[in-house]
Amino acid sequence: MTDTSVVVGAGRCGAPAAETLSHAGFGGRIVLTGEEDEPPCERPPLSKECLRDERDPDSLLVRPR
């Protein structure tokens, strides 16, 4: 059986946590789970700048698509 690590929350902390597991040599399956349909993003700027059309939504992603 393969080890699986589940990171709950696909926000600013969840995405780097999953990436750290990978870079640290975790050899199992890494599952990043969240409610969003979009990739992890910076939520405070999203709620303020992006919704006022002051910033490109893709500039808020934690990692490129």
pLDDT in tens, 17-49: 999 999 999 999 999 888 877 777 766 656 677
- Please check whether residue 40 is in contact with residue 34, taking contact to mean a CB–CB distance below 8 angstroms: yes
For 19, the token pair is 């990436």
What is the chain's alpha carbon radius of gyration, rounded to the nearest angstrom?
A: 14
pTM score of the predicted model = 0.59
CB count within 10 Å of CB 15 equals: 20
Query: Left, alpha or beta for 53 (phi > 0: left; psi -120 to 50: alpha)?
Result: left
pLDDT confidence tier of residue 7, bands split at 50, 70 and 90: very high
